[in-house]
Amino acid sequence: MKDDLKERIVELFRQKSKGEKHFFYIRDVVKWLPDEDRRMVQDAVKELLDEEILKYWSTGSTTYLVLAEHYPKE
Amino acid sequence: MANNSETPLLDQLEEGRWPSFVKEIKQAAQKKPMAEDLLRQLELSYKEKIGHWKHGGIVGVKGYGGGVIGRYSDRPDLFPNVQAFHTLRVNHPTGWFYKTDALRTLCDIWDKHGSGLTNLHGSTGDAILLGTTTEHLQPCFDDLSNAGFDLGGSGSALRTPSACVGPGRCEWACIDSLDICNSLTLEFQDEIHRPMFPYKFKIKISACANDCVAAIARADLTVIGTWKGNIRIDQKEVAAYADSGLDIQKEVCNLCPTHCMTWNGKELKIYDEDCTRCMHCINLMPKALRQGEEKGATILIGAKAPIVEGALLSWVIVPFMKMEPPYEELKDLIIKIQDWWSENARSRERLGELIKRMSMRKFLRAVGLPPVPQMIKAPRTNPYVFFWPEEINRPEGKEEK
């Protein structure tokens, strides 16, 4: 179940990242999956972060999520 | 090292009798080229009246989504030693109690991995370590971790909880603010290190209404120590204060916010039913007045500084809660509050702003708290005390406005 959810999340990230916008709030991800429990989505995102498929990007006050391939280089 | 001719504008900030951060950075620059470039870049900013930092990016070390704030120079061609100048937030010991060897350890680690510049303590409460490179982040964290330190919170996460010194030093502490802070920090580790909130969330604990950590103005969840029952009065000591020159009528009674006390020159009377437990009288006459015997905390909600919207002060939601380890009642309430906020908040919307947008009535129902008179800021202005539409028997055809 979780693997399926993770795949859907990654697929959604790929779709949504096709344009210029690559950074998303966790709230965006939860909204993309209105039928899923918020905590399940958050847990799946945490696993994707552990696997470094997704990465955090932060301004210091706000944290965003981004596909690793779109993570800006220093 | 930077000299006067290189930084004439900054040099002016060394004048006067007060401490100067320029002087301190110059001292660091004798050992660290990073500090030297920091000065030179700052001089350029003063000259051009524009900042030269790029914020954002890297967030932490392996397994963490916070604790590091990425910072880069936009003029690495001129200042290569501050091309990356990241900040680390280190979770402070509760109540800021250190031994000097802990401080020396912290400084030794920072001399090894960073610029040597620190900010003890930042307004978050953390020990702020200013300026290191990306390559040094993980080794620095490993050394900090081996020395018993952990990173604090940053980004859309629970920020490092902070508390006043409480019973560690203060006779007025109504609760063990240190233990509560430590317990909450350990309980909510995942929320601190893995940002999953709509925005920042701050918890601050003051052990009495003097509120030495300014929790009421800064924290999304504020815990302030208070008491039940009557203020204990030692009339002999009251008389001694009067004899020593304290004008009790003017300084104590007249400045009491609820005017709940009288002084006839011999005896002080307190009408405790009108007392708001502000601590004013106890602060002025600590030998004569002591708090009531039953201690606990008031829980308040929703303070913030002005960013997206204007500043908000905290609002009482639980007038009195017993505070005994392991603080399950408080922790359960915090989880319910954070759940409701996570479900309903817009991105970058603080809890206080969400309550303002959706109403206190909905918030109270969601977290299972009854409206009580202590929540009222001003009579007839608190819409959450109104009945729910389904509780009102309206004549047919009349709908709620």
Of the candidates B286, B277, B279, B172, the residue with the CA atom closest to the CA atom of residue B237: B286
Mean pLDDT of B49-70: 89
**Residue A60 touches chain B, beta carbons under 8 Å:** yes
3-state percent helix, strand, coil for chain A, nearest multiple of 5: 50, 15, 35
Query: Which residues of A fall within a CB distance of 8 Å from B196?
Result: 26, 42, 45-46
Residues in chain B with CB shorter than 8 Å from the CB of A62 are 155-156, 199, 347-348
For the cut 60, the answer to whether the pLDDT of residue B2 exceeds it is no
Q: Is A61 on the interface with B (CB under 8 A)?
A: yes
Question: H or E stretch including B267?
Answer: none
How confident is the model at residue B386, as a pLDDT?
A: 65
Neighbours of A34 (CB within 10 A): 6
What angle (nearest 5°) sits at the alpha carbon of residue B149, between those of residues B337 and B202?
20
Do A56 and B59 make contact, defined as CB atoms within 8 angstroms? Answer: yes
Q: How close is the nearest chain A Cα to the Cα of B328, in Å?
A: 21
Q: How many domains does chain A have?
A: 1
Asked whether B315 and B377 are in contact (CB, 8 A), the reply is: yes
- Provide the pLDDT for residue B178: 98
Contacting residues of A for B134, CB less than 8 Å apart: 74
Task: pLDDT band for B58, please (50, 70, 90 cuts).
Answer: confident
Report the distance separating Cα B386 and Cα B360, nearest Å.
11
**Interchain contact, B195 vs A63, CB within 8 Å:** yes
B262-293 burial: b if 16+ Cβ within 10 Å, else e: ebeeeebebeeeebebbbbbbeebeebbbbbe
Mean pLDDT on B268-274: 96
Pairwise CB contact (< 8 Å): B155 & A46 = no
Who among A28, A46, A62 is closest to B156 (CB)? A62
Residue in B94, B88, B93, B95 with CA at minimum distance from that of residue B114: B88
Mean pLDDT, range B167-196, rounded to an integer: 97
Distance of alpha carbon B380 from its chain centroid, rounded? 31
Minimal CA separation from A66 to chain B, in Å: 11
| Region B68-80 average pLDDT | 96
**Whether B156 and A25 lie within 8 Å, measured CB to CB:** yes
CATH number for position A9 = 1.10.10.10
Distance CA B65, CA B67 (A): 7
Using the beta-carbon criterion (under 8 Å), do B155 and A50 form an inter-chain contact? no
Distance (Å, whole) CA B296 – CA B230: 14
Tell me the three state secondary structure of residue B333.
Answer: helix
Q: What is the mean predicted confidence (pLDDT) over A4-27?
A: 95
% of chain B at pLDDT higher than 90? 84
Angle (CA) B185 B226 B364, round 5°: 70
Contact A59/B157, CB-based, under 8 Å? Answer: no
Which tokens hold the place of B185? 């920090």
Taking residues B103-117, what's their average pLDDT?
Answer: 96
Structural domain harbouring A32: 2-70
- Residues ≥6 apart with Cβ < 8 Å to B150: B90, B91, B144
Q: Is A32 on the interface with B (CB under 8 A)?
A: no
Chain A closest CA to B92's CA: distance in Å? 18
Minimum distance, in Å, between the CA of residue B34 and any CA atom of chain A? 18
Report long-range pairs for B22-27 (Cβ below 8 Å, ≥24 apart). B24/B117, B25/B117, B26/B1, B26/B2
Mean pLDDT on B21-29: 94
Q: Which long-range contacts (CB under 8 A, 24 or more apart) does B105-111 make?
A: B105/B147, B106/B144, B106/B147, B106/B149, B109/B140, B109/B143, B109/B144, B109/B147, B110/B140, B111/B31
The most distant pair of C-alpha atoms in chain A lies apart, rounded to whole Å, by: 37
CA neighbours closer than 13 Å in the CB half-sphere of residue B70: 23
Closest residue in A to B58 (Cα–Cα): A57
ipTM: 0.93
Residue of A nearest to B199 (CA): A62
Please, which pLDDT band fits residue B378 given cuts at 50, 70 and 90? low
Q: Which residues pair with B129 in a beta bridge?
A: B88, B118
CB contact under 8 A, B196 and A58: no
Alpha-carbon distance of B15 to B12, in angstroms, equals 6
Residue B268 — pLDDT band, cuts 50, 70, 90? Answer: very high
**DSSP-assigned letters across all residues of B160-219:** PPEE--GGGT-TT-SS-HHHHHHHHHHHTHHHHHS--SSS-B-EEEESSTT-TT-HHHH-
Q: Residue A27 in contact with residue B198, Cβ under 8 Å?
A: yes
Residue B388: count other Cβ atoms within 10 Å of its Cβ: 10
Position A9: which residue type?
I
pLDDT of residue B183: 98
Q: How many whole angstroms separate alpha carbon B109 and alpha carbon B121?
A: 17
Amino acid at B133: T
Smallest Cα distance from B63 to chain A, Å: 7
Among B347, B349, B354, the strongest candidate for a mutation testing the A interface, having the largest count of A CBs within 10 A, is B347
Residues B256, B285: contact at Cβ < 8 Å? no
SS3 B378: coil
pLDDT average, residue stretch B368-389: 74
Question: How close does chain A come to B337, measured CA to CA in Å?
Answer: 15
Coil, helix or strand for B285?
Answer: coil
Instruction: Please answer yes or no on whether A61 and B66 come within 8 Å at the CB atom.
Output: no
